[in-house]
Amino acid sequence: MDAESYQPSEEHQMLREAIRALADEKIAPRAAEADETEEFPWEVYKDLVASDFHAVHVPEEYGGAGADALAAVIVIEEVARACASSSLIPAVNKLGTVPLLLSASEEIKQHYLPPVARGEAMFSYALSEPEAGSDAASMKTRAVKDGDHYVLNGTKMWITNAGVSEYYTVMAVTEPSAGARGISAFVVEKSDEGVSFGAKEKKLGIKGSPTRQVILENVRIPEWRMIGAPGTGFKTALATLDHTRVTIAAQALGIAQGALDYAIGYVKERKQFGKPIAEFQGLQFMIADMAMKLEAARQLTYAAAAKSEAAMHGATVKDLTFFSSAAKCAASDAAMEITTDAVQLLGGYGYTREYPVERMMRDAKITQIYEGTNQIQRMVMARQLLK
């Protein structure tokens, strides 16, 4: 798939049908429970692994499916249509491993990617800290060289799937005087001595995916676990987000599609004033606007996916950063508007937990915040346009 051709192929359509069937049968029925109990959906994880949809992006040479970026988008989109929390399984597996694919030694890739491909381990990404969110370069986590090891100390915050993932890509300061150029990336294992996790955050949405602090206390790891050269960690972090913002756009599309589908079904059935409310023009206009916003965001996301794929294969894609930010921003803003309108279309029922659209509205909100707030995305886009 080159950067100009981003329309889904026949293979992509077959993939969509397969993942949608799994999502409708196995994932959607468990979505409300994951939200209510705030428990990680292990049964969904097993189903995704059994169908090889848990980390489709891992290249074939590491035992993965070797799917392209658009295929990864389609998988995340279709899982999110059923359950946003579950869609973070394929999305965060990609987020955690893209730094390895971009920058790591062959030794690291051979060691850590096959277990992810086999479904034996998940991979999370640890960049943010309590005092370093949008300003990630101001992080305080330190990695100090000690012989042929590094010793890590610090606290990472807002880490998706923390505690359930076996592996973590961790950014830490190796050269404090060098600013962003003094940050390096490492693989940390859950089982490493000194690794612990904070309490689960009590969240508005995506409750089936644990969000916790990752606490590093004198965590001693061998230097071969550094991803790329010393001081290149922040560059790797930013390059990673160019690819993975597209997956957040995909998640937003899926949530929005789920809400739109449900709302359309509802307005056709619900009768007021002696006829289905779908016959009222005011509501028809709402439905039309929801679908229009969703389709515009989808086309932008698929175009960004094509550029991500080309860049992953070594092509120079000058506008990837713009497109990935634009897709993430447009899709998440659209998802918030569409899910809010879906709640409105269901009236009082939309506001209750008996119906899924209130969950979708709560889940949509995070897509405007994580992997770079939409305010940051607008700064990124403007920089690209003005440079």
pLDDT in tens, 278-330: 999 999 999 999 999 999 999 999 999 999 999 999 999 999 999 999 999 99
| pLDDT number for residue 6 | 75
CATH code of the domain made up of 235-386: 1.20.140.10
Domain ranges of the chain: 10-118, 123-233, 235-386
| Residue 245 Cα distances to 49, 112, 143, 177, 231, angstroms | 23, 23, 27, 30, 23
| pLDDT number for residue 8 | 87
CA distance 213 to 196: 8
User: How open is the CA angle 282-287-292, to the nearest 5 degrees?
Assistant: 125
State which fold the 123-233 domain adopts.
Answer: Butyryl-CoA Dehydrogenase, subunit A; domain 2 (2.40.110)
Catalytic residue from among 77, 309, 358, 371: 371
Nearest one of 170, 193, 45 to 119, comparing CA atoms: 45
Nearest one of 334, 355, 337 to 346, comparing CA atoms: 355
**What is the end-to-end Cα distance of the chain in Å, rounded?**
28
Is residue 344 predicted with pLDDT exceeding 90?
Answer: yes
User: How open is the CA angle 249-364-34, to the nearest 5 degrees?
Assistant: 110
Residue 189 appears among annotated catalytic residues: no
What's the average model confidence in pLDDT over 247-263? 99
CB 83, CB 41: distance < 8 Å: yes
| Residue 143 Cα distances to 149, 197, 250, 329, angstroms | 10, 18, 34, 33
Q: Work out the pLDDT band at 1, boundaries 50, 70, 90.
A: very low
- Residue 183, helix vs strand vs coil: strand
Is residue 4 predicted with pLDDT exceeding 60?
Answer: no
What's the average model confidence in pLDDT over 1-21? 84
Q: Work out the pLDDT band at 5, boundaries 50, 70, 90.
A: low
> For the segment 214-250, what is each residue's pLDDT rounded down to a tens digit?
999 999 999 999 999 999 999 999 999 999 999 999 9
| pLDDT number for residue 229 | 98
**Considering the chain, what is the average pLDDT of its residues?**
97
> Helix %, strand %, coil % for the chain, to 5?
60, 15, 25
| pLDDT number for residue 334 | 99
The residue type of 257 is: Q
Is residue 12 predicted with pLDDT exceeding 70?
Answer: yes
- Residue 358, helix vs strand vs coil: helix
> What does the buried/exposed string (b/e) look like for 306-332 if buried means 16 or more CB atoms within 10 Å of the residue's CB?
bbbbbbbeeeebeebbbbbbbbbbbbb
For residue 24, the 8-state DSSP code is: I
The CATH homologous superfamily to which domain 10-118 belongs is Acyl-CoA dehydrogenase/oxidase, N-terminal domain (1.10.540.10)
Q: Please say whether the dihedral angle defined by the alpha carbons of residues 260, 86, 185 and 370, taken in this order, is positive or negative.
A: positive
Is residue 148 predicted with pLDDT exceeding 70?
Answer: yes
Structure tokens at 40: 């990680």
> For the segment 150-160, what is each residue's pLDDT rounded down to a tens digit?
999 999 999 99
> For the segment 31-81, what is each residue's pLDDT rounded down to a tens digit?
999 999 999 999 999 999 999 999 999 999 999 999 999 999 999 999 999
